[in-house]
Amino acid sequence: MKPIIFSGMQATGVPSIGNYIGAIKNWVSLQKDYRCLFCVVDLHSITVKQDPTELREKSRDLFTLYVALGLDPLEHILYYQSHVPAHAELAWILNCFTYMGELNRMTQFKDKSRKHEENINAGLFTYPVLMAADILLFNTNLVPVGDDQKQHLELCRDVAARFNNRYGDIFTIPEPYIPPMGSRIMSLQEPEKKMSKSETENINNVIYLLDEPSVIMKKFKRAMTDSLSEIKYNPAEQPGVSNLLTIYACATGQSIDKCVAEFADAPGYGHLKTRVGEAVVAMLEPSQKRYKELKADPAYIDKLVKDNANRAKDMAQETLTAVKEAVGFPK
């Protein structure tokens, strides 16, 4: 059987081109060689305060986007985390095999605690344990990870090994999957920081996957560049221009060097911004069209949600049953 890959995304905000280029585009290509589970991680989302109506809508929108962007809900499994109770059940068991000192070292908890000082809850603290449960439930072999999740995957591996050392080979120890194309897309107005789908201060920083073409073009025309008036790839000295070149390369499938050569005789940054905007509009056009078709057929999405949840439940239950038996829960 093909190796298993698990990944997911929080149902907060609208995914950006950073999410697509850095993650979902790679997920689409993984479907050829792996058995894939792609989750809307809505349990993780509530570690930060959410409006219930918005969370429900955003979760469905993200699920629909998964399909529109090319993830196959028939060959693979796309589902809501909250529809598979085994996630929370296994997380509780793994909490009992995870040390406080390990969780205290998680840098993401420290970062989020600073951002949400009024809501430093236990779920935020044990977030990595739920993430470990997500992965271990499905005997996952590989997990696509970015820099911000490497520490969590290491904890997952440690907890799985600790459990296996005590009870036998129950869990598959997952390995990190480093995608061949993992370009880091930066903010348009502040190119020193990563583009975030949860941006609240300035929406011109972000190109959302559902932005209208006219909006996309306006945002690129406002993108931060510099006063050097030359188009080179030099993230240290020209972060804005370098970010635009990265986006153009990802949208057109060309190398950075080829993109730089293409703009060697460009009349100015305005030309670069326009071409990048046009390339992104063209990249997003098919998925935006498909998304609108799927939104117009809610019964089809309802069926996909139900069928995929049942498949995920069946798969997760095998591992959960083995774990319960191992720790001594009565049958």
Tokens standing for 308?
């995929």
Amino acid found at 209: L
State yes or no: is 112 an active-site residue: yes
Q: Which of 25, 58, 197, 273 is catalytic?
A: 197
**CA 18 – CA 170 distance, rounded (Å):** 36
DSSP state of 208: B
317 burial via Cβ count (<10 Å: 0-12, 13-18, 19+): middle
Q: Which of 194, 221, 313, 324 is catalytic?
A: 194
Bridge-partner residues for 194, per DSSP?
186
Q: Where are the alpha helices (DSSP H) in the chain?
A: 17-19, 25-30, 42-45, 52-68, 86-95, 100-104, 107-115, 122-125, 127-136, 150-167, 213-221, 239-252, 256-262, 269-295, 298-327
**CA 69 – CA 36 distance, rounded (Å):** 15
Q: Which of 32, 49, 110, 112 is catalytic?
A: 112
State yes or no: is 25 an active-site residue: no
Widest pairwise Cα distance in the chain: 74
**CA 45 – CA 265 distance, rounded (Å):** 47
Q: C-alpha angle with apex 191: 71 to 144, nearest 5 degrees?
A: 30
3-state DSSP assignment of residue 56: helix
Distances (CA, A) of 299 to 59, 109, 151, 304: 16, 39, 40, 9
Residue 282 near residue 251, CB atoms below 8 Å: yes
Tokens standing for 191?
């190119």
DSSP state of 23: I
What are the backbone angles phi and psi of residue 78, rounded to the nearest 5°?
-115, 125
State yes or no: is 194 an active-site residue: yes
Catalytic residues: 112, 194, 197
